[in-house]
Structure 1
Amino acid sequence: MKIEKIIKTETALPLSKKVVINLLYTENWIMDKINMVLKPYDISLQQFNVLRILNGQKEKPANLSTIQERMVNKMSNTTRLVDKLIKKGYVQRVTCPSNRRKVEITITKQGKSFLDKVSLEIEQFENQVTSKFSEEDLILLNNLLNKLRSTN
């Protein structure tokens, strides 16, 4: 469906405005769908992202700034996200006894098990949402999005 129909406008939009509106609308559409996948697991996309980051550390602890740097959504409150994941038993935080400012965060076995289960559903969603595209389309779309971000 065309973006003009979705936003219910009959006004001809300049192409650059149309692209930006379409990107924003599509981002929200994808976020809504991902949140529906994650909702039964009582986890937010940002929390899921933290688990993926920690899992990608390959048993090596991370600190809050490392997690923040690797977050997809840079506006996330990393401390709060980690605190919520600790309460769920998915991550652990260890404070260095000799330097109380040094905090190391790792994913727990329970967190890995949870991540494995949820990752399968997220992967199914990603495959479903991109199923209308060929591999060439996906490569082109990725390249165009990378090019878009490189303009600033």
Structure 2
Amino acid sequence: MNVEEIIKTSQKMPLESRTLIHITLIHNKIYEVVGNALKPFEVSLQQFNVLRILRGQKGQPANLSTLNERMVTKMSNTTRLVDKLLAKGYVDRSVCPSNRRKVEILITKSGSEVLSKMDKVVAEAEHDIVQHFTKQELEQLNLLLDKF
């Protein structure tokens, strides 16, 4: 990926700027590829993330605060994401019996089943994205990214 070519500049960019723009362009590409993989399921990347978090709860309910804390992409509209998943029948939402101000969210059987299918297409998309890297290169890249 040639950053200067993509942003259509002929000027040499400062290394710091080029690096950060490069990371942003890569982020956008990853988002596009994984988002396209999820399109047949009519689920956004954020909704997919919510379902994975709920699956990770292993049958224990999560609340909106828990979902917000664990989201890969931090956002303030978690309620809207849950509402959309509720409409699809992928999650259940109820008021906590011991604390009526708290809303508990669980993944449904249908949500778990469709999530398993999504896992497969997302894994394929992720493999396609990193197919030109060796395992060693990916480990090195992760070490470099950890420095952020």
Q: Structure 1 residues 76 and 29, CA, compared in 2 at 3 Å: closer, same or farther?
A: farther
Structure 1 residue 2: Cα displacement: 1.4
In the superposition, the TM-score normalised over structure 2's length comes to 0.96
Q: Which residue of 1 aligns with 2:3?
A: 3
Aligned residues with identical type, % of pairs: 53
User: Structure 1: which amino acid aligns with 2:143?
Assistant: N
Relative contact order (alpha carbons < 8 A, sep ≥ 6): 1 or 2 greater? 2
Unaligned runs of 5+ in 1: none
The secondary structure found in structure 1 opposite 2:147 is: helix
Unaligned runs of 5+ in 2: none
Distance in 1 (CA, whole Å) between partners of 2:76 and 2:48 is 12
> Quick check: 1:64 aligned with 2:61?
no
1:93–1:106 Cα contact (<8 Å) kept: yes
1:62–1:105 Cα contact (<8 Å) kept: yes
Distance in 2 (CA, whole Å) between partners of 1:127 and 1:118 is 14
Q: Which runs of 4+ in 1 moved over 3 A?
A: none
Distance in 1 (CA, whole Å) between partners of 2:110 and 2:48 is 13
Residue deviations 1:67-112 (CA, integer Å, cap 9, x gap): 1000011125111101110110000011124532121111000000
Distance in 1 (CA, whole Å) between partners of 2:76 and 2:45 is 10
Distance in 2 (CA, whole Å) between partners of 1:101 and 1:112 is 27
In the superposition, the TM-score normalised over structure 1's length comes to 0.93
> Quick check: 1:126 aligned with 2:146?
no
Q: Which residue of 2 aligns with 1:89?
A: 89
Matches within 5 A, 1:35-74: 35-74=35-74
